[in-house]
Every structure is written in C-alpha cells, then in structure tokens.
C-alpha cells in the first residue's frame, strides 16, 4: 500500500460545480497535512494547510479524518482557473518525513 494515495482522476466538472477530492494515508503517526496545487509543467504551490478541526479559505474547504486516515479538499463554485492537479502532502517524524501524493487532475469546463 502506498503511503499516500489519491485518485488520479481526471475529474471533469462544469463551471460552478462543487467537487471533492480525498487522499488516504497509511501512517497513523502522521502529524501535518497540506494541499498543493500544480499547474501543467509548473512547480507545486501551497493551497492550504489542513487542520484537525477543518478549515476554509474562500471557496476551498479542507477536512481531516484521523480515525479513517484521510484528508479531503472541497472546491465550491468551480472556476476555469481551478483546472490543475491537486497534490496531497503528509508529514511525520517531527516534520523530517514528507510524502507527496501523485495528484488528482481537475478540469473545469465552460
């Protein structure tokens, strides 16, 4: 089993739709969690950290479920500009171990 797993997609959604991605992790000692966005042939950029109580940043909501060992990202009112690959990132061992998921591709269509 991979340490961090994501559905590769692609998710094809119309503008204005709500879309959700999940990411599962295998290490129960995982300490911190992030979502990154990566555009085609570009570097990953931090989208948001994921906190235990869940957190929101505009149209984006991140949730953590420690019991089931997954994190989620919800995007509301999708925009064309949201089209990208979304990477799930998990850290443990005091932050020295960082694992990136392979990403979920999202296409938002007009």
Which positions touch another protein (CB under 8 A)? Answer: 4, 8, 31-32, 34, 41-46, 49, 87, 89, 91-96, 98-103
Among residues 1 and 41, whose Cβ is nearest to another protein?
41
Report the Cα–Cα distance between both ends of the chain, in Å, rounded.
Answer: 37
Shortest approach of another protein to residue 67 CB, angstroms? 20
Among residues 89 and 108, whose Cβ is nearest to another protein?
89
Shortest approach of another protein to residue 71 CB, angstroms? 14
Among residues 75 and 101, whose Cβ is nearest to another protein?
101
């Amino acid at each position: 089993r991979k340490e961090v797993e994501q559905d590769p997609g692609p998710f094809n959604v119309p503008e204005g739709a709500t879309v959700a991605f999940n990411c599962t992790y295998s290490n129960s000692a995982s300490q911190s969690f992030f979502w990154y966005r990566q555009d085609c042939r570009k570097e990953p950029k931090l989208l948001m950290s994921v906190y235990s109580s869940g957190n929101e940043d505009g149209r984006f909501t991140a949730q953590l479920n420690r019991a089931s060992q997954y994190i989620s990202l919800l995007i509301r009112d999708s925009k064309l500009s949201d089209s990208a690959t979304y990477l799930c990132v998990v850290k443990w061992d005091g932050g020295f171990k960082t694992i990136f998921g392979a990403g979920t591709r999202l296409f938002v269509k007009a």
